[in-house]
Amino acid sequence: MAEFELVIRNARAVTAADIFMTDIGVRDGRIVALGLGLAGGTREIDAAGRHVTPGGIDSHCHFDQPTGDGSVMADNFVSGTRSAACGGTTTVIPFACQQKGQSLRAAVEDYHRRAAGKALIDYAFHLIVTDPTPDVLERELPALIAEGLTSFKIYMTYDALKLDDRQMLETLAVARREGAMVMVHAENADCISWLTSKLIAGGHTAPRFHAASRPMLVEREATHRAIAFAELVDVPVLIVHVSGREAIEQIRWAQGNGLRIHAETCPQYLFLSAEDLGCDDSFHGAKCICSPPPRDKANQAVVWEGLENGVFQVFSSDHAPFRFDGPDGKRAHGENASFDQIANGIPGVETRMALLWSEGVMRGRIEPQRFVELTSTNAAKLYGLYPRKGSIAIGADADLVIWNEGQPFTLSNTMLHHNVDYTPYEGMQLHAWPALTLSRGEVVWDGTAPLDAAGRGQFLACDRPGPAQKRRRVDELAL
């Protein structure tokens, strides 16, 4: 009998720390041996010197999340995880979103029902806390954190989701006490609503005015406030979907002053700009409506710098999938709907990894190790999945990507496996794509088709993240 169920030979393995030539021996879905000249496997794959990275962890994506505005997300756990796997992602962390008035546990149970038996790859959940009642803060949230939902998102905007400043502080204090990671959507709600009413009153309703209604200032102000609250409560936070310079300056200041502020950015802030929302009043720009909106070329350059110099820890997709055609996506309120009624979000779970490998690593902007940190390892650490996920190491799950590099191709939505009828990156020239994606040692993408095995993905209970644990110091506030 062969010693391993799978051996990947001649891998140029990349971790967050190293690059090294190795064979990878897999048993029971886990990496059990590393080194050249390993004994035989029941199955063998020759990586032929190609880069092999840990499978991606997309720690910010939305599948089958109720929207409450008449639109319906195009991807559920079947199509969303299929698309993720074909793009080199092996773990996703979408959101169980509490509706105001709903118990947090009911939101989680509903989300488990939506996911059960559907996922092709492994998945965990973040919570979204929208209604921090005393019962939620004192009982439900600590219990769910103890059960493995160890991170949650809070919003500073959207009437249906946002917390006020006092609620943010109360919620951050629970995170501190329980050792959970808080993700913050940082945009100032009142500034957006004031600007939106002015724009609409002036007849400026086309998709492109979405960007004008949420300028960088509203993100900068909220980012500053979120950082101040995190400092006051003495808890780490992670600012999600950071779009440009002014927010980055706030984050860099906080990091430089010893605050535990983590930050995430997404492909749309590297490759899209406000111009993609349209130069005229056509509805086409709805395809690129997302929040915060894409900025301009100068901001793209600053986001690239943040990926290079360590301001950002996480590169996720913020996949929020809505179809362009059809009655329940971007057009749910018709083509003449004002920008604030258009479903908010863009797809990207399948293109995230290849965009950053092709445009980041292959163009020499970031090292392969930095790519691994940004797309996999750091998310595993920040959300309590490390070392099971996020590395090529003995004992880790054999979640791996073997890369195909050097053959340029034109990206087209016809190549993709999501249930969205467009990609914002249509027509881009890319130079890399996963040749194979393996989840727990099983090939889930073979370069031509996804494995037909919806339901094989496992729910992952997360540990309390190491970076969210209290620092050892006198707790003067007794929070």
The smaller minimum CB distance to Zn ion, of residues 38 and 156, is found at 156
Site for ligand DUC in 278-307 (CB under 6 A): 291
Q: Kindly state the smallest distance separating residue 155's Cβ from Zn ion, in Å.
A: 7
Out of 13, 74, 168, 320, the residue judged to bind ligand DUC by CB under 6 A:
320
Does 214 participate in binding Zn ion (rule CB under 5 A)?
no
Distance from C-alpha of 385 to C-alpha of 58, rounded to nearest angstrom = 12
Cβ proximity to ligand DUC, 152 vs 357, nearer residue = 152
The least distance separating Zn ion from the CB of residue 123, rounded to whole angstroms, comes to 15
Residues 171-190 that bind ligand DUC (CB under 6 A): 185
- Report the residue from 264, 318, 340, 373 that binds Zn ion according to the rule CB under 5 A: 318
Give yes or no for a contact between 326 and 421, defined as CB atoms under 8 angstroms apart: yes
3-state secondary structure of 174: helix
Among 51, 162, 185, 417, binds Zn ion (CB under 5 A): 185
* C-beta nearest to Zn ion: residue: 185
- In this structure, are residues 288 and 272 in contact, taking their beta carbons and an 8 Å threshold? yes
- Interaction between residue 187 and Zn ion (CB under 5 A): no
The nearer residue to ligand DUC, 199 or 435, going by C-beta atoms, is 199
Range 344-383, binding ligand DUC (CB under 6 A): 344-345
What whole-number distance in Å separates Cα of residue 34 and Cα of residue 25?
6
Phi, psi of 137 (to 5 degrees): -75, -35
Q: Is 26 in the site for ligand DUC (CB under 6 A)?
A: no
Question: Does residue 352 belong to the site contacting Zn ion (CB under 5 A)?
Answer: no
CB of 57 to ligand DUC, least distance (A): 16
Q: Is 94 in the site for ligand DUC (CB under 6 A)?
A: no
d(CA 256, CA 252): 6
Q: Which amino acid is at 224?
A: H
Name the one residue in this structure whose structure tokens are 């921090």. Answer: 132
Task: Kindly state the tokens that stand for 345.
Answer: 């979000």
Q: What span, in angstroms and rounded, lies between the C-alpha atoms of 261 and 232?
A: 13
User: Is residue 273 part of the contact set for ligand DUC (CB under 6 A)?
Assistant: no
Q: Where are the alpha helices (DSSP H) in 320-438?
A: 352-356, 368-372, 378-382
Residue 240 burial (CB count, 10 A): 23
Footprint of ligand DUC on this chain (CB under 6 A)? 185, 240-241, 291, 318, 320, 344-345
